[in-house]
Amino acid sequence: MMTSKRQEAVFELVRSMSKAEKRNFRLYARRNAGNGGAKFVTLFDALDAMEEYDEARVLKKTGIRKEQLPNMKAYLYRQILVSIRLLNVQHVEVMEIRETIDFARVLYDKSMFRQALTMLDRAKRQALDAQKFTLALEIVEFEKRIESIFMQRSTTSRAEELSNQARMLAERIANINQLSNLSVQLYGLNLQLGYVRSEKDRKMVTDFFRERLEAFDDRGMSFHERLYLYQARMWYHYIRHDFVMCYRYARRWVGLFDERPDQRAVYYDLYVRAVARLLDVLFMTRRHDRMADAIAKFERELAQVVPMTENLTILSNLCLLQAKINLHFLEGSFAEGIELAERVDEFVRAYGRYVDEHHLMLLAYKVACMYFGNGDYKRCMSYLHRIISIPNPQFRCDLQVFARILHLIASYEAGEDYSLEYQIRNVYAFVVKMNDMHAVQHEIITFLKRIPHTYASDFRGELVRLYERLKPFENHPYERRPFFYLDIISWLESKIRNIPIAEIIRNKYLGKRSEVAGYWG
């Protein structure tokens, strides 16, 4: 018997707990309950033993009445969160600072103002050292509140000092808010638009964001201000196809965490995203050796981050799986990469419900490309279908367009060309609807339209004609966009020369490695 997501919240929380957290909860709960048979502990044990939530089994195993169950689950949910917080408070600086503020509030309520101020001063130093400006401002406001009651000889100078601190902190917070807003807007634009598709797109992005971003100078900025500034500038150049500048700001973003390694555990989500963007742009620019080094460095640093939360596990796995798959794309080692495709499936089974749709789509597309490169077209199509069947076509429409085009090519390669004309009409209509019919897409779809009516003796000539039409677009500022999603040039070369696509890409990779690339030093 399945219930709603709301009802399952406590079950999901129990399932997400580590062994250490479960052990700590049982000790905490039994100590506070004073009785090992307390009902909420029994409920916890029942939920912990289940693979899927079954309310009938819960009621039978715990002896809790049905009308009591919602309140008992709510109480258990809160007790679990309290126990995990107590376990992590010494490892998570924000929690530690907040605990100190809470202690100061207890002292304040008891009119122990001097001790409360001492406690707040300690918390403020911690917050400022960690550049937690919002927390620091909250502490300053609390200090002003106490100073207004607890009059001392130094009240005037103290009031001026607190006012200056509040002003400085408010300015920092305002900058951070502006920069984080710009970063979120640019990221949202990337999800909606992908890369700029025309001069009109480029002008729209440039006109709206360039002046706003250039208004900020990173000299004298705090860690957080620079973090959001580099993040925003990275997305700005990423969307505009300027991968040299994108690399520069992705590297600076990662470099912030090299300057402040203590911040990796605090802002691990932004740290992982910084590394992910750096790895992505290294893939786009085909910098294989730098990319392999960056992956190895990330894995070494990751092992030092404490605590290793479940969210960090999910984010780091997303980053590493995509990056390692991309390495196989660069090398043309698709057969070896199939093992990674299997690890993606394991990851999605274990954590898929916690991963956003964008990343699930991206993983499915990467795995589909891996199977395509390895010649397993049916599996390729099954992964592409996960993207094509998504009900919201406006979400990552660029990825949905190329998933459909790759599905067409895979259908042809798999010999499933009995419905090719019907599929082509559907894909053509979808691409037009998404306003994404550019020269490369048009040439590919036109080629596929002609295939069912082409004699075998003319087939190679059609491939050569398509190759000659597409090759000039590889370095076009806007028309090269499709090649970031689908290496159609290598596929055409493999068909023309009758050589596996993996071998074509492998030869290109070996050729690239022999080139001198001083530009990126």
pLDDT in tens, 281-339: 999 888 888 999 999 999 998 888 776 778 888 999 999 999 999 999 888 899 999 98
Checking if the pLDDT of 378 tops 90, the result is yes
pLDDT of 55-94, one tens digit each? 999 998 888 998 999 999 999 999 999 998 888 777 778 8
Q: In degrees to the nearest 10, what's the CA dihedral of 455, 458, 463, 467?
A: -140
pTM of the full predicted structure?
0.77
Report the alpha-carbon distance of residue 179 to residue 173 in Å, rounded.
10
Report the alpha-carbon distance of residue 486 to residue 15 in Å, rounded.
39
pLDDT of 33-61, one tens digit each? 655 457 888 999 999 999 889 999 999 88
- Residues 486-509 have a mean pLDDT of 85
The pLDDT of residue 86 is: 86
Tokens of 377: 């077209």
Residue with more model confidence, 104 or 202: 104
- Which stretches within 332-438 are classed as H helix? 334-351, 357-373, 377-388, 397-413, 420-433
pLDDT of 262-273, one tens digit each? 888 778 889 999
CA-derived radius of gyration, the chain:
28
Main-chain dihedrals φ then ψ at residue 77, nearest 5 degrees: -55, -45
Question: CA neighbours within 13 Å on the CB side: how many for 137?
Answer: 12
Residue type, 122: R
Residue carrying the six token digits 């992910």 = 276
DSSP assigned state of 54: -
pLDDT of 161-204, one tens digit each? 888 999 999 999 999 999 999 999 988 887 776 677 778 888 88
DSSP assigned state of 355: S
pLDDT-based confidence at 520, cuts 50/70/90? very low
Residue with more model confidence, 506 or 138: 138
pLDDT, averaged across the chain? 85
SS3 category, 53: coil
The burial class, CB within 10 Å (0-12 / 13-18 / 19+), for 4 is exposed
Report the alpha-carbon distance of residue 41 to residue 46 in Å, rounded.
9
pLDDT-based confidence at 6, cuts 50/70/90? very low
Checking if the pLDDT of 519 tops 70, the result is no
The pLDDT of residue 348 is: 92
